Structure 1
Amino acid sequence: MSIELLIVLLIVGAFVGLLAGLLGIGGGLVVVPALMFILPYAGISEKIVIQLALATSLATIIVTSASSALSHFKLGNVDFYAVKWLMPGVIGGGFLGATIADWIPNQYLPKIFGVIVLLLAIKMYLSINTQSKGALPSAIITTLWGGGIGIISSLAGIGGGSLSVPFLNRHGVEMRKAVGSSSICGFVIALSGMVGFIVHGFAVKGLPQYSIGYVYLPALFAIASTSIFTTRIGAKLAVRLSTSTLKKVFSIFLMFVSASMLLH
């Protein structure tokens, strides 16, 4: 990997960390498209670029979500009841999503990613002025929601904040706590999904040097090295910004990412 590509990845990492702290997402919505564009310039075959992008994205989310979750925990922005019952679902769903991604033909994965993000963008935009439904559903229903969030998130190489933040906020969890709780769930989804991609990647031939399964270590270390610092800035901004502003930023950003992937 050239110095130029390394610098680009460092910049991507800084932006990813800011988003992780601000919006409770692990940054996969930036990392996956960025790596799909960058990795071919590093001499990596386009036949495996999407799997490497998804797996490496999940690996970076482990770092960004952990840093973001710690920042939000210190600020008191975590709903422990929600985290407790989402956790079993996101663990199983994260691994299953990686398995499904390994089954799907390469040419369809970017489009699936784009469609998922578009639906998330529409959902978030429509929820800007939506009133809360009140308390979270029962423990079993919340766990099942966690499973669905884990599957979709791992399949798209994201941390799940795009799904868990609106779910929690709609069910009575204040926006800042929804963001903080999402960071914790994102860490678990990313860990489970990454393990799945590593397991499935071991049998694949032609992977680049310095890979563990589908996880490409040079990109992982470059993105993680800057994102871990900027999550703190994002978490502090999340405390200062209003709920409606956070939702608007979130939905507009998702629409931009979706359009770029669907037109890829």
Structure 2
Amino acid sequence: MNELFIIALAGFTTGITTVLFGFGGGFVVVPFVYQLLVRQPQLAGNAMHIAVGTSTAVMIFNAGWVSYQNWRAGRLSSSILFPLMWFIATGAVAGSWLMGMMSEVLIRALFIFYMLATIGDCLLRKGFFSSNAPRRMSLLTSTGGGFLIGMIAALLGVGGSVMTVPLLRRHGHAMRECISTANPLSLPVALCGAMTYAINGWHKIPSDGFVGFISLKILGLLLVTGWTGIMFSRRTLPAVPDVWHARIYVMLLCMVLLLILF
């Protein structure tokens, strides 16, 4: 019963962070699910693979639903989305392929390093906590940066929002605009990652209720509670001032890092 409550809480939190910060699943789901599964002897050896694989499947639904709502409300800008989305999708294919070649320990270590690098970038480099006039991305940034975002995000099952948001923020966009754009940019990563984890983990989990490394039981509970969190955020939570939106964003990253470490 405690396990179901923990997963439900993670799902509800994921719904809220999807709306407020563009985290479609990975940075909330992965630490919670990993800590839950690593204590089960029959699943401990694949705990990180299951956590990442299930999180990518959650992102398809959460990020997809919020992206649809933002599109209907006219909050998406095609000039920001494209061509960045195509290069992120290309990188996601490469990251998904690399994922199948890496061990459980290496994926967890890369996840921790990724978090440290992202937090350090937000805190140490100027531009994240202050808004400037929007400016267009260079060709090198959209191509090379987009490919790198897609590859790392698919490899670690984190959707890419933690890299796309700082990238857009440093190009002068308000946090609300960055978050709205981050959700559709996470979709190609989620689709590629989920398919790859399903295929690579086929018949590798000695338990029922799995499609490859994706746990259907955990996925179903996360989707129901995640949708509840999305509805709660849209109808209840007030708008956050831009500067505080950026600060809370970094604070949340620090909390997730502590979860995966300890």
Task: Quote the offset at 1:231 in angstroms.
Answer: 1.9
- 1:73 and 1:229 mapped to 2: Cα distance? 20
- 1:125 and 1:231 mapped to 2: Cα distance? 28
* Counterpart selection for 1:80 from 78, 87, 90: 78
- 1:135 and 1:98 mapped to 2: Cα distance? 31
- 2:78 and 2:233 mapped to 1: Cα distance? 21
Aligned AA (1:119): A
The equivalent of 1:223 in structure 2 is 222
Equivalent pair of 1:68/1:235 in contact (CA under 8 Å): no
- 1:260 and 1:4 mapped to 2: Cα distance? 17
Compared CA separation, residues 216 and 147, structure 1 to 2 (3 A): same
Helix, strand or coil at the partner of 1:103: coil
Task: Quote the offset at 1:70 in angstroms.
Answer: 2.4
- 1:84 and 1:146 mapped to 2: Cα distance? 10
Q: Which runs of 5+ in 1 are unaligned?
A: none
The equivalent of 1:10 in structure 2 is 8
- 1:125 and 1:156 mapped to 2: Cα distance? 22
- Aligned identity (percent) is 22
Helix, strand or coil at the partner of 1:209: coil
Compared CA separation, residues 133 and 99, structure 1 to 2 (3 A): farther
Deviations 1:144-169 (A, max 9, x none): 32211111112221111111111112
Equivalent pair of 2:131/2:169 in contact (CA under 8 Å): no
- 2:47 and 2:240 mapped to 1: Cα distance? 37
Whether 1:176 aligns to 2:179 is: no
- 2:237 and 2:88 mapped to 1: Cα distance? 24
Equivalent pair of 2:87/2:146 in contact (CA under 8 Å): yes
Equivalences, count = 260
Task: Quote the offset at 1:234 in angstroms.
Answer: 3.4
- 1:234 and 1:153 mapped to 2: Cα distance? 25
Aligned AA (1:54): V
- 1:215 and 1:38 mapped to 2: Cα distance? 15
Aligned AA (1:85): P
TM-score by length of 1: 0.89
Compared CA separation, residues 101 and 238, structure 1 to 2 (3 A): farther
Equivalent pair of 2:88/2:188 in contact (CA under 8 Å): yes
